[in-house]
Amino acid sequence: METTLRGVGVSHGVAIGEVRHMGTAVLEPPARQITADEAEREQGRARQAVSAVAADLIARGQLAGGEAQHVLEAQAMIAEDPELMADVDRRIAVGSTAERGVYDAFAAYRDLLAGAGEYMAGRVADLDDVRNRIVARLLGVPMPGVPDSDEPYVLIARDLAPADTALLDPALVLGFVTEEGGPTSHSAILARALGVPAIVALPGAGEIAEGTVIAVDGSTGDLFVEPTAEKRAELEAAAAERRAALAASSGPGATSDGHKVPLLANVGGPADVPAAVEAGAEGVGLFRTEFLFLDDSKKAPSEEKQIESYRKVLEAFPEGRVVVRVLDAGADKPLDFLTPADEPNPALGVRGLRSLLDHPDVLRTQLTALAKAAEGLPVYLEVMAPMVADRIDAKAFADACRAAGLRAKFGAMVEIPSAALRARSILQEVEFLSLGTNDLAQYAFAADRQVGAVSRLQDPWQPALLDLIAMSADAARAEGKSCGVCGEAASDPLLACVLTGLGVTSLSMGAASIPYVRATLAKYTLAQCERAAAAARAADSAEEARVAAQAVLSGE
């Protein structure tokens, strides 16, 4: 009998197949006391295991490339964190085995993050995965992971670690469903990059029996257990229609009546550029420069290294627009040389522009490197600051850009509600706004963007979030300036139409989403998008907003 479950759709497409569950194993090692003579040997075992796991994560990242490589390299840094290793050494010195020392040290750090309710609590799944890999190696047991299968299947897991998601084979894994996670988790972002239909935050999915046929709609978040022949035909027809629309879609982003909406790509570095170019991106709407800094948490990359990386991205879009976000450190991206180590709540502390203003030499070097990287190139360079709270922040950033001799447009990211409320004031100092909808939702609803339990409040269809976006777009229009969206909201084709109707002037997303958004925008006029936006804002919930917008665009 067909039943329907609803989670959060995070990657477009339809997958129909039999369920396979992620392998699990008990990886808590026994508590066994060792003698003082054994401590040095156990410490050596622990270090060897940590080094091997870090090397494996880096190798997996190099195989996957792009966004996945950045994520897995960050995980490798967790594995080799000196403070964690010092704690492991201390525990072994007082009698723990290597595996027990690793397990307990990671558990203590995990409890600290989860219990504090910090932004970094969203990385607990990553921390657990690193711990499990190290402990499994020490115990000599297989690491739980993606099941072996000769036939294609739909994967169900409690959660998926980035190391598992990054190397999924789309020829075998038709789609995946997780019980936990959120729409902006690492796994969700990687699923979109792979083009694998995915649903997250679906409690009870793990209870679906192995081998059961399910249908996953990654666009709506619907999961159909034992779908009828009629439902399968309906979903397959919808999927075929989407594929046909994608094949027919090309050129710049625009509504059916010619209103231009540039479609840009979110990139983390040169490795992400080929996919963006292939998808027809009209430029880069978010160049996340922090990935370059994560290579070494102890010191900033040299000016020369930064110039080399920036120029590779700028050269890929001659005559195109490239929007660079200066270093966004802090919260879940701590850097030893930049961010405080003892903040009780890093998400609400010294992160983003605040960190850079406290370390003007780091900001100056980055801005100078950007200026030199753009020399002689016919590219439209725009540089923006993360976590701008008010006009004082915006002025400080614009002044720093001018002092560095940067010939570019200066902008501010709207990620804090105060910036949306005072957008017109901020625009007296900068030339454009870019909405980071992931963080804007997090701060507007006091809902950690990585915690599945509050994913309802992270839904970009929330009417209150749409109000903040409209407020920012209205301010930009009044000042004759641009206002783009570079958060994950832009990757939802239907929501892209609503954002256009709200007055957003450009949309930036992962490369895999660009064809879907281009094809959908081309189906509707600007007036239809405006009516859909008004209907969505008049709703009282995210689901009602989505339904209302769809009804308008469908002509119902």
Residue positions annotated with a catalytic role: 186, 486
Hey, what are 252's tokens? Answer: 């710049």
Q: Which residues make Cβ contacts (< 8 Å) with residue 401, sequence separation at least 6?
A: 367, 383, 408, 410
For helices 437-445 and 463-479, the axis angle rounded to 10 degrees is 120
Evaluate whether 382 touches 406 at the Cβ level (below 8 Å). no
Burial status of residue 238 (CB atoms within 10 A of its CB: 0-12, 13-18, 19 or more): middle
Q: What are the helix (H) ranges across 325-436?
A: 353-358, 360-373, 391-403, 417-421, 423-426
Q: Which residues pair with 284 in a beta bridge?
A: 265, 322
Question: Which strands, in side-by-side order, build the sheet including 14-21?
Answer: 3-6, 222-225, 213-217, 14-21, 153-157, 173-178, 198-200, 8-11
State the DSSP H helix or E strand holding residue 199, giving kind and residue range, or none if neither. strand 198-200
Hey, what are 490's tokens? Answer: 């832009």
Question: Tokens 């080929």, residue?
Answer: 274
Question: Tokens 């430029």, residue?
Answer: 283
Going by C-alpha positions, the residue among 139, 129, 143 that lies closest to residue 101 is 139
Cα 508 versus chain centre, distance? 13
Q: How many angstroms separate the CA atoms of 89 and 191, rounded?
A: 37
Evaluate whether 449 touches 122 at the Cβ level (below 8 Å). yes
Q: How many angstroms separate the CA atoms of 381 and 435, rounded?
A: 18
Hey, what are 298's tokens? Answer: 């102890």
